Structure 1
């Protein structure tokens, strides 16, 4: 088994891990986000309960909330990790139907100097 460990892109970058989960007992979903620093150490994190939706919408919401969380804390160069390969490849516009990212968010997502995404796993 190969152990995966994040390596920072450059000074000034942080990594945001995002994930969503659905309760099997209650009609709700939870999303979580966590910011890691240059050495991979935990810097900040939070979770929130959201309205139940399909899996892709929950994962997309987790990604969007993770970006907003990092930017609100003053981190502007963000690398995103998600276990959803479609999200990690930047295909958000196909998944978010309830909230379209603003032009400023879309611009940052499209700008390689501000945001980088990649999947945690090859197959999802």
Structure 2
């Protein structure tokens, strides 16, 4: 009798925004060896390498539902609001998102730091 084999990588996932790469073992909504998990979107998934539990998985990323870009689930690259959206598409279509998402995106924007007690160098 053959023993069950570990899922072999199906390919390499690469986030087209930040460059994160990782081997994935499954793409879809119902990863194998996970009885109770059904994802809300098609995702690139790998077995969690930090645990021997076969039901533990890591979700690497998905495709942007607008432009099709392959993006990781990191907050710097994408957000999930009923579907996955890359941040460039979110920013281009910000008015189409609910106010809560718009406010969240405003908070994510890098703020210019000012140093009120520090004078600029005025040498000429």
**Do both share a fold (TM > 0.5)?**
no
Give the TM-score, by structure 1 length: 0.24
Which has the larger share of helix? 1
Which has the larger share of strand? 1
| Greater RCO, 1 or 2 (C-alpha within 8 Å, sep 6+) | 1
Computing the radius of gyration over CA atoms, which structure comes out larger, 1 or 2? 2
Give the TM-score, by structure 2 length: 0.24
